[in-house]
């Protein structure tokens, strides 16, 4: 087996619980952009969000899509707004969305670094709100690399962010584990030649992730034991 020397994490649904963060974000955004619950429900339906139940549908674009893709889906229903207007509002709401850590991140990431692992974040969120979320959790300095969809490396399921992490850290892709909660994360990991670890703290079920993963874990807390087994 190949020794793991680096770990690249998705953010939402991986480092942070997806539903707690993004369901609150969706409600805040929809309330901001509409004048009635009926309008909010109609707009939410365009991105796979059930406003009444305040939850995402399993196939929602928001789960793995970029703010740009979400904005494109919403734009026809927001007269007078430009694409950049909508992206800006989405990012503003994202920066203040509540974050619930999948596990206590400071000790978890500190332990990984103490083992000599290089760490990174590759998210389809924009880089600015991603950094805001990591800063709020007091973990920014524990990462060697942080990239969003707008950081110049593209977005998952393309492999650009992942290969940029490997280049930045000087690691061979096969010594890196890509950890994520969606098939976008795992498909990108395969394309980059990395090991792929699925976690169940997002919206995807085990059966969805398993065909694309070397292993599927309940959450990132089980990752150190799996890494130890690869040595």
Residue that wins the pLDDT comparison between 123 and 96: 123
Q: What is the per-residue pLDDT across 175-201, written as a single tens digit (0 to 9) for each? A: 999 999 999 999 999 999 999 999 999
Domain ranges within the chain, ordered by starting residue: 6-17+100-229, 19-95
Q: What is the per-residue pLDDT across 10-50, written as a single tens digit (0 to 9) for each? A: 999 999 998 888 898 899 899 999 999 999 999 999 999 99
pLDDT, mean of residues 48-74:
93
Predicted TM-score (pTM) of the model is: 0.89
Contacts of 153 (CB under 8 A, 6+ apart): 147, 160, 161, 163, 164
Calculate the average pLDDT of the chain.
Answer: 95
The pLDDT assigned to 93 comes to: 87
Among 132, 142, 147, 117, which Cα is nearest to 7's?
117
36 touches 202 (CB < 8 A):
no
pLDDT, mean of residues 70-82:
93
Of the candidate CATH numbers 2.20.25.240, 3.40.930.10, 3.40.50.1000, 1.10.3720.10, the domain formed by 6-17+100-229 belongs to 3.40.50.1000
The pLDDT assigned to 136 comes to: 95
| β-bridge partners, 216 | 198
Q: What is the rounded CA–CA span in Å between residue 125 and residue 75? A: 18
The pLDDT assigned to 157 comes to: 97
């Amino acid at each position: 087996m190949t020794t793991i020397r680096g770990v690249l994490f998705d953010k939402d649904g991986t480092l942070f619980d997806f539903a707690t963060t993004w369901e609150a974000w969706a409600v805040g955004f929809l309330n901001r952009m509409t004048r009635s619950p009926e309008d909010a429900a109609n707009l939410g339906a365009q991105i796979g969000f059930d406003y009444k139940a305040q939850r995402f549908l399993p196939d929602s674009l928001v789960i793995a899509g970029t703010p740009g893709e979400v904005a494109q889906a919403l734009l026809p229903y927001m007269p007078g707004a430009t694409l950049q207007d909508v992206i800006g509002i989405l990012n503003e709401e994202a920066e203040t969305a509540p974050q619930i850590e999948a596990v206590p991140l400071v000790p978890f990431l500190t332990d990984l670094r103490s083992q000599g692992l290089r760490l990174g974040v590759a998210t389809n969120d924009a880089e600015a709100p991603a950094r805001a979320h990591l800063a709020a959790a007091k973990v920014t300095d524990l990462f060697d690399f942080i990239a969003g969809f707008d950081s110049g490396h593209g977005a998952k399921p393309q492999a650009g962010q992942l290969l940029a992490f490997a280049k930045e850290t000087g690691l061979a892709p096969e010594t890196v584990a890509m950890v994520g909660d969606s098939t976008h994360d795992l498909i990108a990991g395969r394309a980059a030649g990395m090991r792929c670890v699925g976690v169940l703290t997002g919206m995807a079920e085990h059966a969805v992730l398993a065909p694309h993963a070397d292993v599927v874990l309940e959450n990132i807390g089980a990752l150190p034991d799996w890494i130890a087994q690869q040595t």
